[in-house]
């Protein structure tokens, strides 16, 4: 990666586009349309799908029947109509086997300043799709900027191997903690805002991903009460031990009182058997 490549243009802006409750038109209902539908559904947008019934692919059919009741997908079984379909659209995607019509739709969108992606016609797209990794709030997009879509899919597989699977959960917990912190220290900017950011930053740096993924409400409260509220200190996982110890004691009490007897009996029996085994082997 050279610096020139980074700064001289030729790249695209990587952003997390917020489409919740916006309206997206998809024209065409084949295999590509079904992939587009899946990419859009996660955003919470409403999809208007315009495609004749006879050309609908099996995956698209499944998705339409699954989401039609919620109103998240409205399927209009006919060909694209210039006069009606583009009205009030926030985004348009063509997934057609008819390049001429795709081009026409792109030009209509340009006139209306609606962002558009035309599958198969990169030079007419306002934005490209990419390979994705999703784990809860974690979203990774791999883009080769039109050079090699298959390569994007292969790189996704490589990246997936480098993830533990705990990242999404850890991010969720950090999100909750940030919310709690903002309740205690509301407002934007100022000294408190700077302290809040410093505290959050340090906490994410000090805590391991695995520890963050295990963060529970009582530990969050402890971190905020004993750390943030007292002297803005970031406690390490070890320093939250009092709360963890209390949790452990609760678990032990639970095992002993709620049918834990059989577990303990099994443990003692196991220990006796192991002892006998090693005594026998030692002879
Ligand atoms: C990433 C992914 C996301 C998705 O589509 O959701 C995606 N294409 C995927 C797969 C894929 N697409 C094609 C193949 C066959 C092998 C091959 O050609 O390499 C495979 C491989 C396969 O099927 O495994 C055919 C193809 N694709 C485009 C053209 C037109 C052209 O290049 O001229 C042609 C016909 C070429 C021809 O006729 O020869 C164009 C685009 N495809 C893009 C995205 C955008 C650029 C993304 C980027 O560069 O990073 C861009 C520019 C526009 C757009 O569609 O937004 C998804 C894989 C991820 C996943 O598996 O999740
Ligand atoms: N970008 C990518 O990643 C990628 C990958 C593979 C293929 N493609 C290209 O994307 C296009 C779509 O691929 P596909 O496999 O989904 O094709 P497909 O033939 O399965 O689907 C085309 C759909 O368009 C509909 N259609 C045709 N005319 C219409 C009209 N006037 N109004 C509304 N709907 C109409 C058909 O009924 C059908 O549902 C092709 O050109 C293909 O080469 C792109």
Query: Which ligand 2 atom sits nearest the alpha carbon of residue 99?
Result: 41
The finding on whether 143 has its CB within 6 A of some atom of ligand 1 is yes
Residue nearest ligand 1's atom 28 by CA: 120
Residue nearest ligand 2's atom 9 by CA: 120
Alpha carbons 58 and 53: distance in angstroms, whole number: 11
The finding on whether 2 has its CB within 6 A of some atom of ligand 1 is no
Cα–Cα nearest to 196, from 211, 208, 184: 184
What is the 8-class DSSP label of residue 54? Answer: G
Helix (H) or strand (E) holding 188: none
Q: Where are the alpha helices (H) located in 42-166, listed in sequence order?
A: 58-67, 99-112, 149-161
Which residues fall within 8 angstroms of residue 79, CB to CB, at 6 or more apart?
Answer: 50, 52
What is the 8-class DSSP label of residue 91? Answer: E
| Residues recognised as catalytic | 120
For residue 271, what pLDDT is reported? 53
Question: pLDDT per residue over 214-270, tens digit each?
Answer: 999 999 999 999 999 999 999 999 999 766 555 544 444 443 344 444 444 444 545
The finding on whether 130 has its CB within 6 A of some atom of ligand 1 is yes
The finding on whether 123 has its CB within 6 A of some atom of ligand 1 is no
Token readout for 6 is 């980074």
Specify the range with the lowest mean pLDDT, choosing from 14-28, 86-100, 240-254.
Answer: 240-254
Pocket test for ligand 2, best of 25, 37, 55 (most atoms within 8 A of CB): 55
Sign of CA dihedral 258, 262, 264, 267: negative
Q: In this prediction, what percent of the chain has a pLDDT beyond 70? A: 83
Does position 7 have pLDDT exceeding 80, yes or no?
Answer: no
- Whether pTM exceeds 0.90: no
Residue nearest ligand 2's atom 3 by CA: 119
The finding on whether 28 has its CB within 6 A of some atom of ligand 2 is yes
Cα–Cα nearest to 125, from 108, 106, 143: 106
Average per-residue pLDDT for the chain: 88
Pocket test for ligand 2, best of 57, 120, 153 (most atoms within 8 A of CB): 120
Does position 40 have pLDDT exceeding 80, yes or no?
Answer: yes
């Amino acid at each position: 990666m050279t610096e020139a490549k980074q700064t001289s243009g030729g790249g695209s802006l990587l952003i997390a586009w917020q489409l919740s409750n916006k309206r997206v038109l998809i024209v065409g209902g084949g295999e590509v349309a079904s992939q587009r539908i899946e990419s859009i559904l996660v955003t919470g947008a409403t999809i208007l799908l315009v495609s004749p019934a006879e050309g609908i692919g099996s995956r698209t059919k499944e998705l339409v029947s699954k989401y039609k009741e919620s109103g998240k997908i409205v399927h209009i079984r006919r060909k694209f109509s210039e006069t009606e379909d583009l009205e009030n659209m926030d985004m348009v995607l063509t997934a057609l086997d008819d390049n001429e019509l795709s081009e026409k739709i792109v030009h209509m969108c340009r006139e209306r300043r609606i962002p558009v992606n035309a599958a198969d016609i990169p030079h007419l797209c306002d934005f490209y799709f990419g390979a994705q990794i999703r784990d809860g709030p974690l979203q990774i997009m791999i883009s080769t900027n039109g050079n090699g879509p298959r390569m994007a899919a292969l790189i996704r597989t490589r990246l997936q191997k480098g993830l533990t699977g705990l990242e999404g959960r850890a991010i969720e917990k950090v999100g909750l903690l940030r919310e709690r912190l903002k309740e205690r220290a509301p407002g934007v900017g100022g000294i408190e805002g700077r302290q809040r950011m410093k505290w959050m930053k340090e906490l994410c740096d000090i805590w391991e991903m695995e520890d963050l993924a295990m963060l529970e409400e009582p530990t969050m409260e402890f971190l905020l009460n004993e750390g943030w509220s007292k002297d803005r200190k970031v406690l390490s996982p070890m320093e939250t031990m009092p709360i963890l110890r209390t949790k452990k004691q609760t678990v032990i009490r639970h095992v002993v009182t709620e049918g834990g007897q059989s577990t303990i009996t099994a443990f003692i029996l196991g220990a006796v058997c192991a002892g006998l085994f090693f005594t026998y082997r030692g002879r």
